[in-house]
Structure 1
Amino acid sequence: MILARIINSIIIILCAYILLKLIQYFLKKLFELTRFDVRYENTLSSVLCSMAYYIIFILTIILLLKEFNIVDVTKFGTLVTGASIVGLIAGVASQSILKDIFNGFFIIFEKQIQVGDFVILNEEFRGTVEEIGLRSTSLRDWDLRRVTIPNGNILSIRNYSRNTMRVVVNVRVSYEEDPMKVINALEEVCDILNERHKEILSIKKNKESYGKFKVYGVTDIEESPIGAKYTITGIVQSNKYFKVLKDTKLQILITFKDNGINIAYPTHINVIKDNIND
C-alpha cells in the first residue's frame, strides 16, 4: 500500500513537471505567431510561466496530500469558505506574498520594466532584467551575478533602456608625458571605438551619430600630484553600456602601450628607521 502511494506520488510529480514544460513550449510557439515587441513577449512569457508554475505546484501538493489521505479534496471547497478563507488570506498577506504579487502585476501591466531592460532598483541593485515573476524580479548585473528582489520590496525604478547612457572614462597620465601625444592616442582610441560600436552609438540625425566617442580633453591637473586626468565620452544604447565601458578601458590600455604612454600610479616611499645604539 505504501509502495503504491510512493509510485503514484512519483507519477504525479512527473506529470506536473511534463505539464509545466508543455505549457512553456506552447507559450513559446504562441508568441512566435504574435507581433508583439520582443521585450514585451519575453516579459509576458515570464509572467505566464510563473503563474503556471504556482498553479501546478499548488495542485501537485493537493494531489500528494490526497494520495496520503492527509486532506479530503471533496471537502477542500468547504475548507476555504467563510472565516477560513479570511484566515488564509491574512496568513498569506502576513508573509508578504500578496504584496509581492500585487506589486508584480502593477510593474508588469504598467510596463514599468520589461525583460531585457537595464534598470536600477531602489537605487541599489543595477543590471539587466532577466526574469519577471509574480513574486520576484531577477537581474543580471555587470559581473554576471543573478540578483533576485521580491516585487513587494521594489520601491523605486530607474529604467535606462528607453533612454541612452553616456560612457565616461577618465584616465590619469604622468605629467612627464607630452599632453598632445596623449590626446592623439585617445583620439585614436575614439576612432577605433566609433568604428567597432557604430551600430549601437546613439542619438542619430540624418544617419550621423551625435553619440560618437570623442576626447573631452584634460579635465584635471590639481587633484592629484601623480598626473593629469584626461577624459573621453560617448553615448550608447543603455543595454550595451557595460560592454562598451569595459571595451573602452581595454582599448585605452592597448593604445597607450602601443604608443609608449605610461598611466600614472602612486609612488610609496617607505622610511625604515635604523635603531642602532652607539
Structure 2
Amino acid sequence: MSNNLKHLADNYLRTPDGDMNFLGKTLKILIIIIIIKLIISLTNKLIDRTLKNKKGKNIFINNKRANTIGEVLKKIVKYILYFIGIMIVLDMFNVNTTSILATAGIGGLAIGFGAQSLVKDIITGFFILIEDQYAVGDYIKIESLEGVVEELGLRVTKLRDFSGDLHIIPNGTVQVVTNKSRGAMRALVKVFVAYEEDIERVSKILEVICEDIKSKNDSILDGPSILGITDLGESNISITIVAKTKPMEQWSVEREIRRMVKEAFRKENIKTPYPGRVIFGGKEE
C-alpha cells in the first residue's frame, strides 16, 4: 500500500526532478489550511473550556470579562497560525522567508515611527483588558459617546448606542471611561406638586408607593426612599425619591415610580403644577 501511494505521489505530485509540481503544491496548501482550521477550532474549544472553569474565581471579575479575554485570545491564536501558514507556503515556492523576517524587522522599526498611534491603541487596549476597565456587554460612557460595548479588541472598542449607531473608538483615544454597569446604580425621580397641596399627605402617599414598588420589583437593592422637599420652584414644590438598583435597571425603576406616582395622584386628586397665564386688563362690553 505504501509503495502504491509513493508511486502515485511520484507520478502525479512531483516533477521528474523530484520537486513538487503545481498539483502537489496545491494539495499541500489545502492540507495546511485544513490543519490550521482544525487547530484553531480545537484551540477555541480549549479556551472556552478553560474560561468556563475559571468563571467566578478571583482572577475574573465577572463572566463578561472572561468572554472578552476569550475573544482576544482566539484572535491572537488565529493571527499567529495564519502567519505560520503563510511562511510555510512561501517556503514551498522557494521564497527566502528568513530574509523576509529580517526585512520585516528592519521595516517594522521604520514603520513604527509612523505607526505610533497603532502601537498606542494596542498597548492601551491591552491595559483596558488586563485592568478590567470595561468588558463586552457593559454600558459605558467615553467622552460624549455612550452605549453598550459590543466588541473589545486590542486596537478598537465598538460601542452601540440606544439609537443603534455603532461607534468605533481607537483605544489610544480613550482617556476617561465612565462604567455604568459596575455596582449598584441610582434611580432618581423628582415629583412636582402644587403649593396648595398638603405636603404631609403627599409624603404619606409617596411612602405607600415606595413600599409597594419595593415589594414587587426585584431590581431594587435599596429604597426607594423619600429625601423630602429638595426644591421650591416658582409654581411647584419638588420632592425627590431615590433608590439603588441592579446595573442597567435604574431607568426601568424610574419609569415604574413615575407611573405609580401618576396613578396615585390621579386617584387621590393631588394636583400637579403646570404653566398657566392670567391676563389682567381690558374693558368689559
Tell me the CA shift for residue 152 of structure 1: 0.9
Matched AA of 1:184: K
Question: What SS does the corresponding residue of 2:259 show, helix, strand or coil?
Answer: helix
Answering whether residue 69 of structure 2 is matched by residue 47 of structure 1, we say yes
Matched AA of 1:195: S
Contact map agreement 2:219 2:246 (CA 8 A) in 1? no
Contact map agreement 1:138 1:149 (CA 8 A) in 2? yes
Answering whether residue 232 of structure 2 is matched by residue 214 of structure 1, we say no
Match of 1:234 in 2: 243
Match of 2:107 in 1: 84
Match of 2:191 in 1: 171
Match of 2:257 in 1: 248
Matched AA of 1:230: I
How far apart, in 2, do the equivalents of 1:255 and 1:13 lie? 68
How far apart, in 2, do the equivalents of 1:112 and 1:186 lie? 38
Sort the Cα spacing of 1:180 and 1:100 in 2 relative to 1 into closer, same or farther, 3 A: same
| TM superposition score normalised by structure 1 | 0.66
Answering whether residue 175 of structure 2 is matched by residue 152 of structure 1, we say no
Write the deviation string for residues 183-237 of structure 1: whole angstroms up to 9, x where unpaired.
Answer: 2332222112211335641xxxxxxxxx311222222223x33x22221112234
How far apart, in 1, do the equivalents of 2:48 and 2:176 lie? 31
Sort the Cα spacing of 1:178 and 1:88 in 2 relative to 1 into closer, same or farther, 3 A: same
Sort the Cα spacing of 1:149 and 1:268 in 2 relative to 1 into closer, same or farther, 3 A: farther
Matched AA of 1:251: M
| TM superposition score normalised by structure 2 | 0.65
Percent identity over the alignment is 27
Tell me the CA shift for residue 98 of structure 1: 1.6
Contact map agreement 1:164 1:235 (CA 8 A) in 2? yes
Match of 1:105 in 2: 126
1:29-48 equivalence runs, <5 A: 29-34=49-54, 35-36=56-57, 39-48=61-70
How far apart, in 1, do the equivalents of 2:153 and 2:61 lie? 14
How far apart, in 2, do the equivalents of 1:132 and 1:246 lie? 31
Tell me the CA shift for residue 247 of structure 1: 3.0
Question: What SS does the corresponding residue of 1:212 show, helix, strand or coil?
Answer: strand
Matched AA of 2:256: D
Which of the two has higher C-alpha Rg?
Answer: 2
Tell me the CA shift for residue 103 of structure 1: 0.3
Task: List gaps (5 residues or longer) in structure 2.
Answer: 1-28, 280-285
Matched AA of 1:217: G
Write the deviation string for residues 124-175 of structure 1: whole angstroms up to 9, x where unpaired.
Answer: 3344545422122344556676544321111013345554333221122334
Contact map agreement 1:12 1:64 (CA 8 A) in 2? no
Over aligned residues, Cα RMSD in angstroms? Answer: 4.5
How far apart, in 1, do the equivalents of 2:162 and 2:102 lie? 48
Tell me the CA shift for residue 102 of structure 1: 0.3
Tell me the CA shift for residue 46 of structure 1: 1.9
Higher relative contact order (CA 8 A, sep 6+): 1
Match of 1:275 in 2: none
Contact map agreement 2:136 2:152 (CA 8 A) in 1? yes
Matching residue within 199, 206, 211 for 1:191: 211
Task: List gaps (5 residues or longer) in structure 1.
Answer: 1-8, 202-210, 271-278
